[in-house]
Amino acid sequence: MDAIILQILNGLDKGSAYALIALGLTLIFGTLGVVNFAHGALFMIGAFCAVTLQKILSASYTVIDPSQTDFLGRPLEVSKPYLEAWLGPDLGGGIIEWSVPLAILFAIPVMLILGYVMERGLIKHFYRRPHADQILVTFGLAIVLQEVIKHFFGANPIPTPAPPAFAGSLDFGVWLGFDPNAIIYPYWRTVYFLFSLVIIGAVFSFLQFTTFGMVVRAGMADRETVGLLGINIDRRFTIMFGIAAAVAGIAGVMYTPINSPNYHMGMDFLVLSFVVVVVGGMGSLPGAVLAGFLLGIVESFASMNEVKNILPGIDQIIIYLIAIAILLTRPRGLMGRKGVMEE
Amino acid sequence: MFGLEKKDAALLLIVAVVTLCAPILLNPFPAGSEMAQFNAGYPDLMQRFAIYGIFAIGFNILFGLTGYLSFGHAAFLGVGSYSAVWMFKLLSMNIIPGIILSVIVAGLFSLVIGFISLRRSGIYFSILTLAFAQMSYNLAYSVLTPITNGETGLQLSLNDPRVLDAARTTGSLPVTTLFGAEMRSATSVQFGVWEWQFSTGFYVSAVLMLLALYLAIRIFRSPFGIMLRAVKSNQNRMSYTGLNVRPYTLAAFVISGMYAGLAGGLLAAMDPLAGAERMQWTASGEVVIMTILGGAGTLLGPIIGAGFIKYFENIFSKINDNVLHDWFAFLPDGLNDFVVTVIAPFFGDGWNLTMGLMFMAVVIFLPGGLVDGARRIGRLFRRKPAGAKRPDAATKPAE
* pLDDT score at B388: 47
Optimal mutation site among A37, A118, A123, A135, interface B, most CBs of chain B within 10 A: A135
Size of interface A-B (CB pairs under 8 A): 109
- Fill in the DSSP letter of residue A281: -
Phi and psi angles of residue B104, each rounded to the nearest 5 degrees, phi first: -65, -45
Residue of B nearest to A146 (CA): B353
Phi-psi region of A34 (alpha: psi -120 to 50; beta: other; left: phi over 0): beta
pLDDT category of residue B384 using cuts at 50, 70 and 90: low
Does residue B54 register a pLDDT over 90? yes
| pLDDT band at residue B264 under the 50/70/90 scheme | very high
**pLDDT score for A293:** 92
The top-scoring range by mean pLDDT among A166-175, A304-313, B136-145 is B136-145
The pLDDT value recorded for residue B82 is 93
Measured CA to CA, the distance from residue A114 to residue A159 in angstroms comes to: 24
Q: Is the pLDDT of residue B105 over 90?
A: yes
Give the mean model confidence (pLDDT) for residues B154-172.
Answer: 75
- List residues of chain B with CB under 8 Å from any CB of chain A: 67, 69, 116, 119-124, 126-128, 130-132, 134-135, 138-139, 141-144, 281-282, 285, 288-289, 292, 345, 349-350, 352-353, 355-357, 359-360, 363-364, 367
What is the percentage of chain B residues whose pLDDT exceeds 70?
Answer: 94
Residue B266, judged by CB atoms within 10 A of its CB (0-12, 13-18, 19+), counts as buried
| Beta strands B273-274 and B154-155, pairing class | antiparallel
Confidence of residue A11 (pLDDT cuts 50, 70, 90): confident
Strand, helix or coil at A265?
helix
> Mean pLDDT highest for which of A64-68, B33-37, B142-146, B266-270?
B266-270
Phi-psi category of residue B182: left, alpha or beta, with phi > 0 → left and psi -120 to 50 → alpha: beta
Q: Determine contact: A251 vs chain B, CB below 8 A.
A: no
pLDDT band of A341, cuts 50, 70, 90: low
Say if residue A337's pLDDT is above 90: no
What pLDDT does B398 receive?
46
| Residue B266 pLDDT grade (very low, low, confident, very high; cuts 50, 70, 90) | very high
Chain A 287-326, residues with CB within 8 Å of chain B CB atoms: 312-313, 316-317, 320-321, 323-324
Contact A148/B at CB under 8 A: yes
A81-104 tens-digit pLDDT: 887 777 777 787 778 888 888 889
pLDDT of residue B393: 45
For residue B397, the one-letter residue type is P
Q: Are the C-beta atoms of A21 and A267 separated by less than 8 Å?
A: no
pLDDT of residue A268: 79
Model confidence at A79: pLDDT above 80: no
- Compute the C-alpha angle B132/B352/B51, nearest 5°: 60
d(CA B157, CA A295): 41
Could you report the per-residue pLDDT of A109-159, keeping only the tens digit for each?
A: 999 999 999 999 898 888 888 888 888 899 999 999 998 998 888 888 888
What are the pLDDT digits (tens) for B304-352? Answer: 999 999 988 888 877 777 777 777 777 787 888 888 888 877 887 788 8
**B306 or A171: whose pLDDT is higher?**
B306
Domains contained in chain B, CATH given:
6-281 (1.10.3470)
Q: Which domains does chain A have, with CATH numbers?
A: 2-57+97-329 (1.10.3470)
Cβ-based neighbour number of residue B382 at 10 Å: 6
Confidence band for B169, pLDDT divided at 50, 70 and 90: low
Mean pLDDT across the stretch B19-38? 80
- The shortest C-alpha distance from B104 to chain A (Å) reads 25
Partners of A78 in the beta sheet? Answer: A63
**CA A306, CA A285: separation in Å to the nearest integer?**
34
Range of A133-147, B139-153, B384-398 with top mean pLDDT: A133-147
| Confidence check: pLDDT of A271 > 50 | yes
- Is it the case that residue B394 has pLDDT exceeding 60? no
pLDDT the model gives residue A116: 93
**A144 contact residues in B (CB cutoff 8 A):** 353, 356-357, 360
The average confidence (pLDDT) of chain A is 85
Which residues on neighbouring strands pair with residue B94, listed in sequence order? B177
Query: Is the pLDDT reported for residue A48 higher than 70?
Result: yes
Chain A positions in Cβ-Cβ contact with residue B131 (cut-off 8 Å): 271, 275, 320, 323-324
Q: Is B302 helix (H, G, I), strand (E, B) or coil?
A: helix
Q: Which of B132, B100, B147, B154 is nearest to B262 (CA)?
A: B100
User: How sure is the predictor about A196, in pLDDT bands with cuts at 50, 70 and 90?
Assistant: very high
CA-based nearest residue in chain B for residue A317: B135
Lowest mean pLDDT among A10-19, B149-158, B283-292: B149-158
Q: What is the pLDDT of residues A312-330, one digit of tens each?
A: 778 778 888 888 888 888 8
